[in-house]
Every structure is written in C-alpha cells, then in structure tokens.
Amino acid sequence: MDLTYHIYIGAKPEEVWNVLISDEAVKQTMFGCTIRSTFEVGDDYAYVGPGNDGDETVHVYGKILVFEPNRIMSYTEHAGPSYRDNHAELETRVTMELEPIGECTKVTLVNDLWPADHPSYEKTKESWPMILSNIKTYAETGKTLDFGW
C-alpha cells in the first residue's frame, strides 16, 4: 500500500527545498495553505489554509520525524479534524528525499505506514502527483499549474 513517487526537477536541491518550506512557495504549491512548524525533530507541523473551517482550516498535521535541510524531510501525517472524526487514529508517514543529479534534483516521495482501510488512501494516491507537479513547475518557473478549480 506504500505510495512511492519519483520526479526530476530542473533546479538545485536548495531551490527545491525552499519550495517545500518557505511560506510563499508552500502557499503557491499547496493550494493556499501555509506550513506552520519550527521544523525541529519531534515538533508539530500543520498545513493551514482556506477550507471547511474558514481560512484557518487544518488540512494536514503531524510530527516532524527527520529534518535535514536540502536532503530529507519526514513526518507523520493525519487528515485535519474537519475531515475525519477519527483523524488522530489515521496516521501515515511521508518522507521526501532530495538527491542532486547533475544540474537537477531527484525527489523521491514515499507515503507509507497506511492503516488498513484508510479512507483517504485513494484520494491521496491521486493528490501526490498533482502536488509534486506543482512543486516541480514552481521550482522551475516560479508559477504553478492551473488545475481549473
């Protein structure tokens, strides 16, 4: 059930990393959300933005597991409270690893440790390629994709 994706981005790891953690880039690539975190291992993080609960909807939250700038970030992930009553029980893990390849960056994303019958699995399976494509486009052009929403 692990979800694994590989994408190559025409930007250096530092530039891709910036897209993953800077407020402006996250807001552009994550559909209006910002990421709130100290990025210290063991600390909380949350993607917060417009949604079911207004402008401060927590879409995804969890704990930082690994944070090595320009190389790897791993965290637990839960759907926000407004999405699932049992959100605290529905934990997965996301790991993004960046590897320089020439003048490019290989990004490997693994979303694993899925509980049986997780209700968001299919939607997440479809969402990651869109998010990764948005990150790639933003890192390469400074723009995001228009998904027509």
pLDDT tens for the 149 residues of the chain, in order: 899 999 999 999 999 999 999 999 999 999 899 999 999 999 999 999 999 888 999 999 999 999 999 999 999 999 999 988 999 999 999 999 999 999 999 999 999 999 998 999 999 999 999 999 999 999 999 999 998 87
Q: Is residue 76 part of a domain?
A: yes
Q: Is residue 148 part of a domain?
A: no
Q: Is residue 100 part of a domain?
A: yes
Q: How many domains does the chain have?
A: 1
Task: Report the alpha-carbon distance of residue 67 to residue 25 in Å, rounded.
Answer: 18
Q: Is residue 51 part of a domain?
A: yes
Q: Per DSSP, what are the bridge partners of residue 63?
A: 44
48: closest CA among 63, 64, 40, 37?
Answer: 37
The domain that holds 20 is classified in CATH as 3.30.530.20
CA distances to 13, 14, 81 from 100, in Å: 6, 10, 37
Q: Is residue 149 part of a domain?
A: no
Task: Report the alpha-carbon distance of residue 107 to residue 129 in Å, rounded.
Answer: 12
The domain in which residue 33 lies consists of: 3-141
Q: Is residue 133 part of a domain?
A: yes
Task: Report the alpha-carbon distance of residue 22 to residue 105 in Å, rounded.
Answer: 18
Q: Is residue 107 part of a domain?
A: yes
DSSP secondary structure code for residue 56 in this structure: E
Q: Is residue 146 part of a domain?
A: no
The label of the residue with tokens 């479809």 reads 126
91: closest CA among 74, 108, 68?
Answer: 74
Question: How many CB atoms within 10 Å of residue 103?
Answer: 8
Which DSSP string corresponds to 76-144?
Answer: EEEE-TTT-TTGGG--EEEEEEEEEETTEEEEEEEEE-PPTT-TTHHHHHHHHHHHHHHHHHHHHHS--
